[in-house]
């Protein structure tokens, strides 16, 4: 696997060997942005300009600023939006809001904070369309999926949060792409760590009254909402799979392909073993904990 530095140098070399329009051709073929390829060319052909120190993959300060520096007013603005419509115990770190993530994002954008929330459809083919276009057409660097999942183990309860370290699947998408080899899609470690730390802060800074457990582990991305052979899904729990959903595997695979960052965070909406399930109103209004963890990971990492 090529790291970030080797990837942009390889792309720059390929573009330089092509006739006019080579940068655009390589960008379209690899999913790398033109800016990245041009940076690689400068590093290769102008060693004194934008030089990358030995042992590093980018210049010092070349990464993203943490959200406190890049957008210092974001946390206060988000708190101002959520506080008037918060539900639940006022002393609890779990805050329930009747505002949707899309509405919160729109209001933050109106105030000048760069947050985008959108749907991705249902299933991996739909997710793949959205993610491919976000990465290749809009140069999005990080995608955090929030959604619901079905618990597969007794250790999970309704409204618990699952932060997916990786995802397995019964989809043929990766088997086609890798010609029969098994690829292991995993989350970006930086986003994963930031999400876990955000969840831990929520517990350590408040009461435990309404805080639901947060689990880190594997998701099973199913191609079928109604499984034809549920016993096969149940077998996954013997290998550490916590819950089932329908998109994370495709998201993680495409993020790896394009050299981007991805994470999936899900709230347990129903329990496959016990038959318990949340109501439509609960799914709409009580999944805020997952969203706050996702925002903290995406913007604070």
Give pLDDT tens digits for 268-281.
999 999 999 999 88
Mean of the pLDDT values across residues 121-130? Answer: 92
pLDDT of residue 265: 97
Partners of 267 in the beta sheet?
Answer: 148, 161
Mean of the pLDDT values across residues 114-123? Answer: 78
Mean of the pLDDT values across residues 118-126? Answer: 88
Q: Residue 39: pLDDT above 60? A: yes
More confident residue, 68 or 191: 191
* Cα-based distances in Å from 273 to 125, 237, 243, 283, 284: 27, 11, 11, 19, 23
pLDDT of residue 156: 95
Structural tokens at position 156? 């999970």
pLDDT of residue 20: 84
Tell me the pLDDT tens digit for each residue of 223-258: 988 877 878 877 888 899 999 999 999 999 999 999
What is the percent of the chain where pLDDT is above 90?
36
Which domains does the chain carry? 1-63 (no CATH), 67-300 (3.40.50.1580)
Mean pLDDT of the chain: 81
Of 2-16, 205-219, 222-236, 253-267, the range with the lowest mean pLDDT is: 205-219
State the catalytic residue, choosing from 137, 223, 270, 301.
Answer: 270
pLDDT of residue 180: 87
Task: Enter the pTM of the model.
Answer: 0.65
pLDDT of residue 297: 86
Q: Residue 206: pLDDT above 90? A: no
Residue 205 confidence class, pLDDT cut points 50, 70, 90: low
Residue 183 neighbours by CB distance under 10 Å: 16
pLDDT of residue 208: 43
* Cα-based distances in Å from 100 to 37, 185, 267, 292, 293: 38, 29, 15, 12, 15
Exposed/middle/buried for residue 269 (C-beta within 10 Å: 0-12, 13-18, 19+): buried
What gap in Å lies between CA 212 and CA 2, rounded to an integer? 39
Residue 209 confidence class, pLDDT cut points 50, 70, 90: very low
Q: Residue 109: pLDDT above 70? A: no
Residue 5 confidence class, pLDDT cut points 50, 70, 90: confident
Tell me the pLDDT tens digit for each residue of 157-176: 999 999 999 999 999 998 89
Q: Catalytic residue at 160? A: no
List phi, psi (to 5°) of 48: -80, -15
Q: Residue 50: pLDDT above 50? A: yes
Q: Residue 87: pLDDT above 60? A: no
């Amino acid at each position: 696997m090529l790291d970030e530095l080797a990837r942009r140098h390889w792309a720059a070399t390929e573009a330089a060997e092509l006739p006019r329009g080579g940068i655009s051709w390589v960008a379209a073929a690899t999913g790398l942005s033109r800016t990245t390829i041009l940076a690689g060319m400068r590093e290769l052909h102008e060693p004194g300009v934008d030089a990358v120190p030995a042992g590093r993959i980018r210049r010092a300060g070349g990464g993203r600023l943490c959200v406190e520096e890049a957008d210092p007013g974001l946390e206060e603005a988000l708190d101002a939006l959520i506080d008037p419509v918060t539900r639940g115990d006022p002393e609890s770190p779990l805050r329930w809001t009747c505002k949707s993530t899309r509405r919160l994002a729109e209001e933050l954008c109106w105030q000048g904070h760069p947050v985008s929330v959108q749907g991705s459809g249902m299933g991996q083919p739909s997710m793949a369309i959205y993610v491919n276009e976000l990465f290749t057409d809009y140069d999005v660097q990080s995608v955090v999926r929030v959604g619901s999942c079905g618990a597969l183990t007794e250790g999970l309860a309704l409204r618990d949060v699952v932060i997916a370290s990786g995802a397995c699947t019964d989809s043929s998408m990766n088997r086609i792409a890798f010609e029969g080899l098994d690829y292991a899609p995993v989350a970006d470690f930086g986003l994963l760590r930031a999400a876990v730390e955000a969840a831990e802060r929520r517990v350590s800074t408040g009461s435990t009254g309404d805080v639901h457990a947060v689990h880190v582990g594997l998701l099973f991305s199913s191609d079928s909402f109604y499984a034809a052979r549920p016993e096969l899904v149940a077998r996954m729990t013997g290998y550490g799979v916590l819950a089932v959903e329908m998109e994370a595997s495709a998201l993680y695979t495409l993020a790896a392909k394009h050299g981007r960052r991805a994470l999936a965070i899900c709230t347990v909406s129903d329990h496959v073993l016990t038959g318990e399930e949340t109501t439509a109103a609960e799914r709409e209004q009580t999944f805020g904990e997952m969203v706050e963890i996702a925002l903290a990971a995406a913007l604070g990492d």
